[in-house]
Amino acid sequence: MSPAETFSMAAVQAFLDEVTALKISNSHNDWYQVDVAAVLDGCHVEGHEVDPVSGDALLFLKSSLMFCSPETGAMRHYPRSLVHCFVDDRRKRPDVNDPELLYRGELFSVTPESEQLCWVRDCVTNHEIPIVQSAISTWMRWLNKP
């Protein structure tokens, strides 16, 4: 087994371990452990993000993203060329419609409305901003990878 395959297998296992630690239903956990794991078999997984509240997840593959939602059973695949990142720093100019929001990072896709990716990381306190900036940095490295 090549080092890249070993790394990818470890990345998939780290993802599945993180999902198992979530407070989601057994059926949602089983969906990740069986169905999502089967789809990922042989894929080069570079990283992941999991929303601990919804249980939704993003998997960063070599040249695409996979969005997983256990609630809807959706597994959506987005080529990197269709994914964009926006960052809004609202600390100096608050939004009148959402004055508590200080900082936002968003990954989204240019796809039909019913298939759009919209992965958002919001900050309403200053101490959250470095964590979100770190996540955005990971997104940007992935987006700009040759």
Question: In 22-128, which residue ranges form alpha helices assigned H by DSSP?
Answer: 26-30, 37-40
Q: State whether residue 70 is helix, strand or coil.
A: coil
Range of the domain at 58: 3-143
Number of domains in the chain: 1
Q: In the structure, how many helices (H) and strands (E) does the chain have? A: 4, 7
As a whole number of angstroms, the distance between CA 62 and CA 8 comes to: 10
pLDDT tens for each residue of 90-144: 999 998 999 999 999 999 998 888 889 999 999 999 999 999 999 999 999 999 9
Structure tokens given for 82:
């269709």
The enclosing domain of 41 has a CATH number of 2.30.29
pTM, full prediction: 0.89
- Model pLDDT for residues 24-74, shown as the tens digit of each residue: 999 999 999 999 999 998 888 999 999 999 999 999 999 999 999 999 999
